[in-house]
Amino acid sequence: MREPTLGNPQNTIAVLQKYNFVFQKKFGQNFLIDTHVLDKIIRSAQIGKEDLVLEIGPGIGTMTQHLACAARRVVAVEIDRGLIPILEDTLEGYDNVRVINDDVLKVDIAKLAEEEDQGRPIKVVANLPYYITTPIIMALFEQNVPLSSITVMVQKEVADRIQTGPGSKDYGALSLAVQYYARPYLVANVPPNCFMPRPKVGSAVIRLERYETPPVETADEKLLFQVIRASFNQRRKTLANGLKNSAELDFTKEETEEAIAKLGKGPAVRGETLSLVEFAELTDYLSEIKKKRKNSRKE
């Protein structure tokens, strides 16, 4: 296999000029031009010759070349049709790479993993387009994609939100959702000068290691996520009001207060002070209330 040619600014500029490529802001195009950062991503993703890697948004194929050398096979999904002829050029000779021209949010990744590797857990590695970071990460977790880890470049602020716990201003539904599915690690902070064009914000590489079983048990996973969303929808409101006002839930004020009291919290408690374990416990109390209500209707 060819040694990677991309990764430094000179070669990226040469490719962009050859194709008169115009950056599409709407697709969040900030290409990596730092080989040290690339090496760090590849190393921390712990890719081996047996791995199938999904790359989201290969751009001109910089990281794809490096991934192809480390993995057994790489499937790269790129939305921008204008990049496809460039990828055909830069990925020539890398015969373990498949490029799909599509919006990753429309691709059935579980089916892809089945087709490509009989449904064995895949590794996702990407310099993500920042405008859809959260939907991409949540789709990977929620759509039952067989997954062992996600190693991605995200906005620094998103990395902070993913890693934090109760008491921090960054703590929210994203922190809890990700921490339910995976253990997060910060790999590196990355400054804007490692990209072309330079983003306005700082970036960070994070690795999310998928749990085989979630760290908390709950009687109703769907209800847990509804409760989490409801608790952070109205940040300045109490937990009881957040739950009562949610369009997804139908508990009365008395019922939410009863569940919160069972948790050992006062009526003025706010959602942002609860840990994942407490959210799971609260969900179980609410689930019991729901069941009781159903049974009393039957009688």
- Provide the 8-state DSSP code for 20: T
Q: For ligand SAM, which is the closer residue by CB, 68 or 289?
A: 68
Contact assessment for residue 109 and residue 167, using Cβ atoms and an 8 Å cutoff: no
Determine, following the binding rule CB under 6 A, whether residue 4 of this chain makes contact with ligand SAM: no
SS3 33: coil
Contact assessment for residue 57 and residue 129, using Cβ atoms and an 8 Å cutoff: yes
Please state, in angstroms and rounded to a whole number, the distance separating the CA atoms of residues 249 and 204: 35
Residue list 65-104, contact with ligand SAM (CB under 6 A)? 77-80, 83, 103-104
Residue 35 burial (C-beta neighbours within 10 Å; 0-12, 13-18, 19+): middle
Tell me how long the chain is. 299
CB of 50 to ligand SAM, least distance (A): 23
Determine, following the binding rule CB under 6 A, whether residue 56 of this chain makes contact with ligand SAM: yes
CB atoms within 10 A of CB 2: 12
**Residues in binding contact with ligand SAM, number by CB under 6 A:** 23
- Interface residue with ligand SAM among 13, 84, 105, 277 (CB under 6 A) is 105
CB of 114 to ligand SAM, least distance (A): 20
Determine, following the binding rule CB under 6 A, whether residue 27 of this chain makes contact with ligand SAM: yes
CB of 136 to ligand SAM, least distance (A): 8
Q: For ligand SAM, which is the closer residue by CB, 133 or 283?
A: 133
What radius of gyration, in Å, describes the C-alpha atoms of the chain? 22
Determine, following the binding rule CB under 6 A, whether residue 206 of this chain makes contact with ligand SAM: no
Determine, following the binding rule CB under 6 A, whether residue 59 of this chain makes contact with ligand SAM: yes
Q: Is the dihedral of CA 39, 42, 43, 48 positive or negative?
A: negative
Tokens of 188: 């590196």
Contact assessment for residue 184 and residue 147, using Cβ atoms and an 8 Å cutoff: no
Determine, following the binding rule CB under 6 A, whether residue 127 of this chain makes contact with ligand SAM: yes
- Interface residue with ligand SAM among 4, 58, 242, 271 (CB under 6 A) is 58
Residue list 211-270, contact with ligand SAM (CB under 6 A)? none
| Residue numbers at the binding site for ligand SAM (CB under 6 A) | 27-32, 56-59, 62-63, 77-80, 83, 103-105, 127, 129, 132
